[in-house]
Chains A and B, each alone.
Chain A
Amino acid sequence: MADLPAPGPPPAAQPPGPVDPITADREALREPRRVSPFGPVFLAWAVIRQVGFLNIGIFTAVVGSRNFQLVGLVASLALMVVGVAQWWRFTYGLETSDDGDQLVTLSGVFSRNRTSVPLDRIQAVSTRQNLLHRLVNLVEVNVQTAGSLGAEVQLSAVRPVVAERIRRLSTATTTSGDVVHLDAAGSEDGRPPLPPEAAPVLKRSLQDILVVAVTRNPLVLLAPIPLAVGLGVEAEELLGRFSDQAGDLVDRIGGSVLGAVVGVVVIVVLSALVSIGFVVLRLFDLRLFIDGAGLRRLSGLVSRTEVTASRERVQLVAVRTNPVERMLGLRELVLPVAGGGASVQIGTAVPTSLQLPGTRPDELERVVELVLGSRHDDEIGHASTYGISPLAVRRWTLWGGLAPAAIATFALWFLFGRVALLALLWVPVMWVAARLRQRSWQWSLGPETLRVRSGIVGEVRRDMPVRKTQNVMIDQGIFHRRHGLGDVKVRTASRVEMVLPLLPLAEARAVRGELIYRAETDPRPFM
């Protein structure tokens, strides 16, 4: 199996002689090129997968049975010709002008489309290798700029070194040009400078990933039950020979109920096993590197993805812990990045965050230091902590407790009569849960960071540098208006927003004023 090149200077970066690697990269990309001829094949495969084998089968059966074979054949041929023509007309290359280097792509069979992306505007170069890509050692490259939600430029199948070259050139341009780029140098908020060469930050072994997979699918731990029951039935059969007829009858009735329970458990365990399998496939060999361009995350067993993001592109740090993970000293770290999501082509989507499950405390500290600065924890730790309105208990009890309990009681009344009133016991349960939840909600606003944390058994914590604020919204529902409350929603350039729910309206307005003021006066870039 071919693999992605290890991050770091590839062979092309050290030619013998005086040619510096940047010039070499520039020369190598100068000539406009096509992507590999495998490109249209991969695209066809992605289309087939997207449409679904079953649909294609049904369609073929229906169309084929009515002597429409010729139409189908001509249509497929036409699609193939269009695909090949598109591949032929798509070229990419580097152009140098007075404004600096630009990555230029030309595309379109009948129309001519030209996309040029100045290298200093490139924010992230991510790659992906599906199984087919890996067989021939090619990668799909997605080039993102600040403005783009999806990929600005997409090269469907190129050699890995091309991605490496674009990445190196864009980093070199951004750090040497006049664009303010805090990534290259350290900054006054205590973030260490980025190392020139790739340094590993975290690495997950197969065992770690299995632990993560099991903590996410704890139902797999029910597996011993069907096994035990299976053994039990064996033993019972031996005993059963000596029991009398009446005992047999009881056994049979008990046995069928037991069989149903075991069947359900087996299904639950099998589905948990399947999702564990998918988690392992996706997270296999998860690694996070840090280099001159920022953060770089690799993972995957069959299809490998590599996501890069400059650290300014990271909008906030989200840490999730469930009780099992807490016992094992693991955290789920998510770094939502600016942009991402929208897919340009079928079967591709640029990731919206760097997902780092199973992170240990020391690794977490390192990543937080790189992204938010070393003084971050101290700073936010000393800021005053605020809660949310105690009226939240009433609202959550109404919505999550009383409303469903009333509906359930009404529905069950016709089946069970007065017993249905037991459903109302749900209300005190939810009241207790709402109370705990309201008490667990905390937020604090430090000089640099907005922190929100919540959770009864587990914990969700989000730390956002205040300068990443894009806009602030105060939302009021009918309950909010009656009690003079407001939800504050702070949006970043990522998909994740910070929500401070159910604050007294005056407090909500004060927070908004503060956040907006900081966003307006802080000249540092938000990505």
Chain B
Amino acid sequence: MSSVPVDESGSWNNRVVTVDSLPAIDQAPFERLEPRYLTQQRAIWAIILGLLLVGGITVLVIVGAPTWVWALVVVAALVLFAISFVLEGLAYDYRGVQLRAHDVSARRGLIGRSTITVPFSRVQHVTLERGAFDRVFGLAQVVIFTAGAVAADARVKGLSPERAERLREGIINRSNVTAVAANEDG
């Protein structure tokens, strides 16, 4: 627990730091996610709405509804898809990850937005996850855990597997988890 990065003087001190001298997270650019991630999100919406549409049409066939009702349902599905298409695009523009010398930040959100920052010294372990949909689109997620009692602390979705692997390595190399991880494996 003691191998936390120390400042330039090599030992812990309590010198005065002005807030303005601190490097600002929000002024530096965030790395964008793979464009495939946007395609994935839109595809998920298409599948959900497609299933709903098929279900709705099935019901309409059974009930024997007139044609204009069908048309209305199809148009509604298309409009919803168009809306989700645009909104996902906006959300994608904001999503991103930023790696600094001592911490990692991830931001997300569309209407409500959040940015979470995890210092490397607090990272307990990092996992690389690939769900079924991620594999189809050639994507991977990196999940960063600290000692916080809340489940996962930061989740970076929509990375290519190679980039996810590099991010994971980068975080692990900069934090003190390697020793612990090696110990637990052995």
A residues sitting closer than 8 Å to B (CB atoms) are 146-147, 149, 179-180, 338-341, 352, 447, 469-478, 480-481, 491-495, 497, 509-510, 512-514, 516-517, 519-527
How many inter-chain residue pairs (CB < 8 Å) link A and B? 126
Contact of B124 with A471 in the complex, beta carbons under 8 Å: no
A424 shortest CB reach to chain B, Å: 28
Could you mark each residue 1-21 of chain B with 1 if its beta carbon is under 8 Å from any beta carbon of chain A, else 0?
Answer: 111111100011010010110
Query: Given the complex, which residues of A lie within 8 Å of B26, measured CB to CB?
Result: 509
Interface: B119 (CB within 8 A): yes
* Given A472-B116, A473-B117, A522-B12: 9 more A-B contacts, CB < 8 Å: A471-B153, A473-B115, A476-B109, A481-B111, A494-B149, A509-B24, A513-B25, A516-B119, A524-B4
Contact of B17 with A514 in the complex, beta carbons under 8 Å: yes
Number of residues on chain B facing chain A (CB within 8 A): 42
Name B74-120 residues within 8 Å CB distance of A: 102-103, 109, 111-120
User: CA separation between A226 and B100, bound complex, in Å?
Assistant: 67
Contact of B17 with A517 in the complex, beta carbons under 8 Å: yes
Nearest residue (CB) in A for B101 is: A520
Contact of B24 with A180 in the complex, beta carbons under 8 Å: no
Contact of A526 with B122 in the complex, beta carbons under 8 Å: yes
**Which of A147, A520, A524 has the most B CB atoms < 10 Å from its CB?**
A520
Q: Given that A338-B147, A447-B14, A492-B148 are contacting pairs, would A520 and B5 also be in contact in the complex, using a CB cutoff of 8 Å?
A: yes
Nearest residue (CB) in A for B12 is: A523
Q: Given that A471-B117, A473-B117, A513-B19 are contacting pairs, would A527 and B149 also be in contact in the complex, using a CB cutoff of 8 Å?
A: no
User: CA separation between A338 and B122, bound complex, in Å?
Assistant: 13
Contact of B112 with A475 in the complex, beta carbons under 8 Å: yes
Query: Given the complex, which residues of B lie within 8 Å of A497, measured CB to CB?
Result: 150
Contact of A521 with B118 in the complex, beta carbons under 8 Å: no
Query: Given the complex, which residues of B lie within 8 Å of A480, measured CB to CB?
Result: 112
Contact of B113 with A476 in the complex, beta carbons under 8 Å: yes
Interface SS, B side: loop
Contact of A523 with B4 in the complex, beta carbons under 8 Å: yes
Nearest residue (CB) in B for A475 is: B114
Contact of A473 with B114 in the complex, beta carbons under 8 Å: yes
Contact of A341 with B149 in the complex, beta carbons under 8 Å: yes
Query: Given the complex, which residues of B lie within 8 Å of A481, measured CB to CB?
Result: 111-113
Contact of B117 with A493 in the complex, beta carbons under 8 Å: no
Q: List 10 A-B contacts (CB under 8 A).
A: A179-B2, A339-B149, A471-B119, A473-B117, A480-B112, A481-B112, A491-B146, A509-B25, A521-B12, A525-B1
Contact of B12 with A512 in the complex, beta carbons under 8 Å: no
User: CA separation between A523 and B10, bound complex, in Å?
Assistant: 10
Query: Given the complex, which residues of B lie within 8 Å of A494, measured CB to CB?
Result: 149
Contact of B122 with A521 in the complex, beta carbons under 8 Å: no
Contact of A526 with B115 in the complex, beta carbons under 8 Å: no
B120 shortest CB reach to chain A, Å: 8
Query: Given the complex, which residues of B lie within 8 Å of A491, measured CB to CB?
Result: 146, 148, 150, 153
Interface: B141 (CB within 8 A): no
Query: Given the complex, which residues of A lie within 8 Å of B148, measured CB to CB?
Result: 470-471, 491-493
Nearest residue (CB) in B for A479 is: B112
**Which of B19, B24, B26 has the most A CB atoms < 10 Å from its CB?**
B19
Query: Given the complex, which residues of A lie within 8 Å of B153, measured CB to CB?
Result: 470-471, 491
Name B139-186 residues within 8 Å CB distance of A: 146-150, 153-154, 180
Query: Given the complex, which residues of B lie within 8 Å of A523, measured CB to CB?
Result: 2-6, 11-12
Interface: B62 (CB within 8 A): no
Contact of B115 with A474 in the complex, beta carbons under 8 Å: yes
